[in-house]
Structure 1
């Protein structure tokens, strides 16, 4: 009897087990069916052209093949459906939003960052782009920070919106020209490329010259701040524009009322340090940039008088090209001509230093500079900085262990040195601007 009951109990438990398991889904999807559903696998599509745009997955894969933080050299086309919006701004004329292949937030999300609207024109209303819109984007792209694929700010626009286009074309990638020197300035393409190679927030260790025509003015020169921000390109058009951020005026001075302002179409040369701001915006560095020349659209060229340009010597040391960081306290500089400069504070808390304001080396009272050369030096000419109406020549109070000190215009001249080794000392006993020697260039003449 017990055996029969036991058999019945086993049978009952088996039946209950099978019944209970019938409605429990498998812990994984079964390909081609299983659980009565289908799996969806994203596939990268497109080659980035207008006829075959990348889908979000394909553009992400392409961007990950780029070096981190470096903009793509070419413009690419990307197609998708807006899955969420971050900022659609008529005020700033651009839009930031995410797209996916199907408009949902579950698939690959690609970040469209600060692009212009249809026809490469500014966004005109805050609802110009909405969730569910189908878009085709034309833009350069970047792997921002090495982990965020996105479009490059200011280098993209909406080519098509829900099937509508307004004549936008693929912007020219342009040809980089120039080496950044005064004689051969960068064009906007070369400046963008140089800055884009930097890490996020990193700036160049020296200043470069950049030439172009003004595309648009973001902030004109004003007496309040004395600086201006504008975009330049080779031909004054939007393609390949470079952002000149808060540059000072001619002569590395603040702009004042009555001076010519910058305008669209002007041809300019600027000199400044470059930075990859936030890892996605190549631009000049505020406070380390100034206008070298300004040719008004339809007008003449304005350039400041450059002290020392008419003085010839055997060797010139231009401080702006020294590759020093702002506010660097100086100890020793070895120049390319085999000349060594050794600096000392002389007991003053203010020690010899380099500042980008004026691009000058500052020598305060009691500070010294020791010159050591392989060849005997006949004379030195210090081209002194002029700033806000003050001439920083230490009022001529510079003594030398060899030679005689005189002032000639904005230059401080040490003549009759005839030595391979000598020391200069700032002997000024006054305070403020008259006590400082600030020089932007040293012109060396060797004994014949």
Structure 2
């Protein structure tokens, strides 16, 4: 028995040692903190702790800490396993050659190298990660920053700061505020649930199907699809009933992300509901649907629902229940994640209910710029084709981060940024109020390199038709999330003919991952070429993977792509047309036997020399604006991994 206990102890020790950047909150730290008289600062925003004081104190929630950014905690790997996967071997503090963007390290001085004198800061997805991480922002090294979060005795093997909600980056041009710092919301809120570790007082109620809301990824989450298919359901997340009998005005707000949704049904399948006669059975209560700012539907980027005002008929009532209603079907199964759900006293804002995608708008019948300007909104979700001439761009510099004056734009090529263009109904237009700002973020990886004027000055004056979300860009009417485009009348046509390695649909960013679906972004280089092409990597050694394309936006007739299996392995890839349409002959799914490729090993970037037999081309029929294409590896295959690139739908 003693030998068995010793073995169990060693196994547990190994698990703890090689668990990567896990965070251990302060309650698990059994060491006593230091004498508060030694501390510098009080943990407030105006008087933050310095790094040394934080390391002495060893406790605290929602506290501010200030230090210098000196590096990050890289992932370490020790060779590869039998299947060619790298073996994770913990984390190490580095000051260059960063391989992760999920954390930074701060210290009391810019030259600190001792792991005993640093803090590893866990960066949540969104603005805080995008603007602070040193993998993508090498210029942040050496900058002073103050950050709001919670103490963790161990994160990435060193003292940590987790649950970050706000930061102030001290740059040479001034302070940059990031995040809102609202981890808890109003102290007198009726409901204030972060969903960081549980569903709290909320209850998952299934009206149909077998799905439930769960706590995962520090969110309330529900998932209606996987590699096995879609799971039809109607499932509610019901908040505790509250008493508003003494209230004069109140609002609801939360942060949420939606992925794998159908643009045509996203509003109907993700709803905020309110009732004054709920007694425990959602089907017997009377519910009112409240408009919210909708998430994108095609990413795990969190957005605010807005401060949704509670209607007057519910104010003054003693029994008010609020809920989230989720619907999935045999063809649509999104993932919905919700955080920081708050109901509090205060005035709500008018939530613009964006127009849904319209059936009379298509690539062959696009809106002109004049019409599109009347449909775009600050928080729009309507997806449409728009036609116009490229007439200029947004001026470089912080002064033009919001386009609200003539000097913020350039009708031409001088001193413009590569993250936006202007389109207008006339190629001679010089009034910025008659132009749409087309913004290129990480969600437009194909459009940005092909359309921006910095890299493509010959695009100036060309007519183009663009598919995207009618949403403000740079604070002005415009479009974002550009998923398709085509030059007209002599412009260069981005739709490829024959095998190519580029894709004309949006693929995941190279550092994107969805571990629950075993789907990952990445890049591939072809042979000795240095050009990098985006890919979708599906599956792991144990899990089959699944990824669905954005909605196609219009009728298409051809699908083409490259697909390879893992080095020395054979696998199966299934390709399915969903939400309307089939392959020629009436099949909804094609099954492909994958051949292993010598370059498909380890991690991105991959270097692959595809064979002609790795290229696949299919004819499509009956495709609609809401059709999508699902790629998944097969559970029954000996190997469950695949790399797909050069995906083109024409």
TM-score, with normalisation over the residues of structure 2?
Answer: 0.31
| TM-score in terms of structure 1 length | 0.42
